[in-house]
Amino acid sequence: MDEITFAVLGTGGIGRRALEVSQHKDALTPVAACDRHGVAVDFDGLDVDELLAATEGNIDSEVATDGGTGAATAESGVKQHGEDRGVVASSQARPSEDAIQEIIDRGDRIDAVLLALPNYEHDFIPRTADRFVEGGYSGVMIDVLKRSRVIGMLDERSDAFEDAGVTFICGAGATPGLLTGAAALAAQSFVEVTDVDIWWGVGLKSGYEDNRGTVREDIAHLPEYDIETARGLSESEIEAIIDDHDGVIEFEDMEHADDVLLERAGVCDADDVTVGGVLDVRNDEKPTTTTVRVTGRTFDGETATNTFQLGDETSMEANVNGPALGYLKAGVRRNRAGEYGVFGPADLLPGF
Amino acid sequence: MDEITFAVLGTGGIGRRALEVSQHKDALTPVAACDRHGVAVDFDGLDVDELLAATEGNIDSEVATDGGTGAATAESGVKQHGEDRGVVASSQARPSEDAIQEIIDRGDRIDAVLLALPNYEHDFIPRTADRFVEGGYSGVMIDVLKRSRVIGMLDERSDAFEDAGVTFICGAGATPGLLTGAAALAAQSFVEVTDVDIWWGVGLKSGYEDNRGTVREDIAHLPEYDIETARGLSESEIEAIIDDHDGVIEFEDMEHADDVLLERAGVCDADDVTVGGVLDVRNDEKPTTTTVRVTGRTFDGETATNTFQLGDETSMEANVNGPALGYLKAGVRRNRAGEYGVFGPADLLPGF
């Protein structure tokens, strides 16, 4: 495939890891990265090592030396709270009053935009997409969101995306994303899928401190919280919740977009999809093996279960960012072929 | 997706099952089927039930009543050896001196052609593709071949396919096909894949009699045989080989196109792919669980193995034909978007 230029909106855990993983991928050139406070743009390709070291390096090492609990360093990370907070800590970046607009203004040279913004309000990503459309953008936009209801908001914009020439890929991280794709592929043995059971285990290798957004997003899935109340939690309140659970939080029957994404791809009804998992904030090791089980009926009348399991040694970061960039490349291919609108990960796999 | 019309070349085990499975799929209309002796064409859609019953029904029941060994009925099946041999036994079909040409001549109304011809000589499918190109065909062609070297022959025709507007999908059955796709997806956790180990188990639910082509193709993978010598074997010689192995034939380090298909998709080197498996011709149950193991290195330096397993109750027929039709639909989508040339299953998944 020809060279692909991409921008990352958000330089938290996911955005930074996406930049890092992209260095291992063929034909991907990161040309812009921004957060709420600044923007870095270089069409010859960002110096990812410098950007990561400047915005993340010292926090990584602090977590490593205190055993990964993150608690001791909660308010001390330079990237979130220092004077040069966020991406501006990089020598390639500069402060901006409206960093996203600066990316939009350069959209004609950017093939794809990865929205790495897990913990904003529900309509933040749809509204950001609106801004890109209004700004004349006509490439790929991709998110790694987990929430079912956001897909509906994006679907409402489907005509606008088609008119603009935007190919929007939603839910393209680990779950949904890699695991939704695995479920769609596993479903090919069957003429009717009766159950998809997704069970994930995440051990936060790099600790809470380096995964604030992700942990906050996960807490929003607990029965007592939603995305708005979770967003309102202070750092110390989040740590208190983590303490209450001894660092290990189990989720059952989550609102997780795998269901609507599998339904829209024609794999099964959303009601047939169950998602749960276990998050261990304090240990590298996964507390349970991430497993997708797809049960269905074959054309010759048998009932069986196909299974996909991730190796326990693969980190959440590896399973989010490899697939996200894979789907990004698939999206660019679709976009260049003139296919616009909203796509889930399973829509990018062979059809059913 | 809009309605897709397709033709099946070959009405042996795979061709007939593809017709049957297509009845469970949305938006797929079988409009033509042929074998060496005849052709059935109906652009309103073939009556699949009639065609299957006429060409296969009595053989199925004979196998069922003799316990599935097939040996007792080897020379007595109506479809292969009766007066109305093959597809001509169907009231929808008529004899033809050149059935394939009759399909080619109607190619402008056929979106995709499934080449369900496992046991011909190596260059049969490439040469058949040549005939379609020469006849002005500009749709999808798809095979379920297993042999690495055929991919090379197809690649040599890549420019001709592009000029003609043909999208050729090769190796799109169970393995390669479903399992190659699973390996490509499982690889997304890694920045470097070091090993892909594909191990399949097949129990021939419908016995040797209904799977002549597939069994012959598999025997060609034994060290003592190749595709030409296997093709020259008589029915009784094949049965003698099966008897020698007590009905259970194990294959190690097969020439199997998964290797070249994964390399061309950028997943790993062909040398890193190992394929083997166990075929039990006499039992419904699989002799071993079909498993794909993908081992790699993550961006953060871990080594891990992701695993995909098919439920033992899924038949070879279910795992070949569901994926084949899924890839066929993916191919039509690519074709309609103007993407021509040669594609492997993994090329139709998100890129790396």
More confident residue, B97 or B255: B97
Q: What percentage of chain B has pLDDT greater than the value 90?
A: 64
Dist CA B179 CA B199 (whole Å): 10
What is the full DSSP assignment across B277-323? EEEESS-SS-SS--EEEEEEE-TTS-EEEEEEE--TTS-HHHHHHHH
* Torsion, Cα of B104, B110, B113, B114 (10° steps): -130
From B66's Cα to the closest Cα of chain A, the distance in A is 19
Q: Tell me, what's the pLDDT at A205?
A: 65
CATH code given to domain A190-311:
3.30.360
User: So what's the pLDDT on residue A118?
Assistant: 58
pLDDT in tens, B169-184: 999 999 899 999 999 9
Residue with tokens 């309140």: A237
Q: Which residues of B touch A173 (CB under 8 A)?
A: none
3-state secondary structure of B41: strand
Mean pLDDT of A215-244: 87
Quickly state the pLDDT bin for A70 (edges 50, 70, 90).
very low
Q: What's the pLDDT at B1? A: 55
User: Stretch B300-315: mean pLDDT, rounded?
Assistant: 96
DSSP for A288-349, please give it: S--EEEEEEE-TTS-EEEEEEE--TTS-HHHHHHHHHHHHHHHHHHHHHTT--EEE-GGGGS
When computed from its CA atoms, the radius of gyration of chain B, rounded to whole angstroms, is 20
From chain B, the residues in CB contact with A266 under 8 A are: 26
Please list every residue in chain A whose beta carbon sits closer than 8 Å to the beta carbon of residue B25.
191, 352
Interchain CB distance below 8 Å, A189 and B178: yes
Domain boundaries, chain A: 4-175+318-348, 190-311
**Which of B29-38, B115-124, B226-235, B316-325 shows the lowest mean pLDDT across its residues?**
B115-124
Best A4, A178, A189, A325 member to test B by mutation, with max B CBs in 10 Å, is A189
For an interface test with A, the pick among B114, B261, B286, B299 (most A C-beta atoms closer than 10 Å) comes out as B299
Nearest CA to A343 out of B28, B331, B333 is that of B333
A25-34, A216-225, B160-169: least confident range: A216-225
Which residue among A146, A205, A256, A286 is the active-site one? Answer: A146
Cα separation of A75 and A65, whole Å?
Answer: 16
**Per-residue DSSP letters for B45-80?**
---HHHHHHHHHHHHHHHHHHTTT--GGGTTT-HHH
Residue range A127-156: mean pLDDT, rounded: 93
Q: What is the CA radius of gyration of chain A?
A: 20
Write the CB contacts of A124 (distance below 8 Å, at least 6 apart in sequence). A117
Backbone angles phi, psi at B332, to 5 degrees: -65, -40
Contacts of B321 in chain A (CB under 8 A): 299
A343 — pLDDT class (breaks 50, 70, 90): very high
- B163 φ/ψ sector (left φ>0, alpha ψ -120 to 50, else beta): alpha
Q: Which residue has the higher pLDDT, A242 or B165?
A: B165
The string of pLDDT tens digits covering residues A276-303 is 999 998 888 899 999 999 999 999 999 9
Tens-place pLDDT, residues A86-138: 889 899 999 999 999 999 999 999 999 999 985 567 788 999 999 999 999 99
pLDDT band at B13 (very low <50, low <70, confident <90, very high): confident
Strand order in the sheet with B303-309: A248-251, A273-280, A192-203, A291-297, A303-309, B303-309, B291-297, B192-203, B273-280, B248-251
Phi, psi of A315 (to 5 degrees): -80, 160
Give the residue from B258, B304, B250, B301 showing the smallest Cα distance to B276. B250
Compute φ and ψ for A94, nearest 5 degrees. Answer: -140, 155
**A214 annotated ligand binder:** yes
A249 sits in which H/E element:
strand A248-251
Q: Is residue A331 a known part of a binding site?
A: no
Q: What is the 3-state secondary structure (H, E, C) of B161-227?
A: HHHHCCEEECCCECCCEHHHHHHHHHHHHCCEEEEEEEEEEEECCCCCHHHHHHHHHHHCCCCCCCH
Query: Is the Cβ pair A186, B349 closer than 8 Å?
Result: no
pLDDT at A17 over 60: yes
Residues in chain B: 352
Is it true that the peptide bond before A176 is cis, omega within 30 degrees of 0? yes
**What is the distance between the terminal CA atoms of chain B, rounded to a whole angstrom?**
26
3-state SS class at B234:
coil
Residue with tokens 């089980």: A293
Contact A326 B205 (CB under 8 A): no
What does the pLDDT read at residue A216? Answer: 85
Residue A61 has pLDDT above 70, yes or no: no
Instruction: Return d(Cα B256, Cα B175) in angstroms, integer.
Output: 8
Domain A4-175+318-348: assigned CATH number? 3.40.50.720
Give the Cα separation of A17 and A314 in Å (integer): 14
Range A6-32 average pLDDT:
93
Between A172-181, A211-220, B297-306, B342-351, the lowest mean confidence (pLDDT) is in: A211-220
A4: left (phi over 0), alpha (psi -120 to 50) or beta: beta
Which is more confidently placed, A46 or B351? A46
Active site annotation includes A205: no
**Nearest CB to B317; choose among A192, A300, A329:** A300
Q: Is the pLDDT of residue A211 over 80?
A: no
Closest to B291 (Cα-Cα) out of B182, B214, B144, B171: B182
Whether B261 has a pLDDT exceeding 80, the answer reads yes
Contacts A–B by Cβ distance under 8 A: 189
Let me know: does B231 contact B216? Beta carbons within 8 Å.
yes
Among the ranges given (A70-79, A168-177, B143-152, B205-214), the one the predictor scored with the smallest mean pLDDT = A70-79
How far from the centroid of its chain's Cα atoms is residue A230's Cα? Answer: 18
Q: What proportions of chain A, in percent to the nearest 5, are helix, strand and coil? A: 40, 20, 35
Q: Is the pLDDT score of A152 beyond 60?
A: yes
Query: What is the reported pLDDT for A222?
Result: 87
Give me the interface pTM, i.e. the ipTM. 0.88
Residue A33 has pLDDT above 60, yes or no: yes
pLDDT confidence of residue B55? 81
Q: How far is CA A118 from CA A149, B236, B339, in A?
A: 14, 64, 34
Per-residue pLDDT at A63: 28
User: How does pLDDT run across B245-255, given as a tens digit for each residue?
Assistant: 999 999 998 88
Which pLDDT band holds residue B210 (cuts at 50, 70, 90)? Answer: low
Give the residue, B1 or B318, on which the prediction is more confident. Answer: B318
**Phi-psi bin for A166: left (phi > 0), alpha (psi -120 to 50), beta?**
beta
Residue B62: what pLDDT?
30
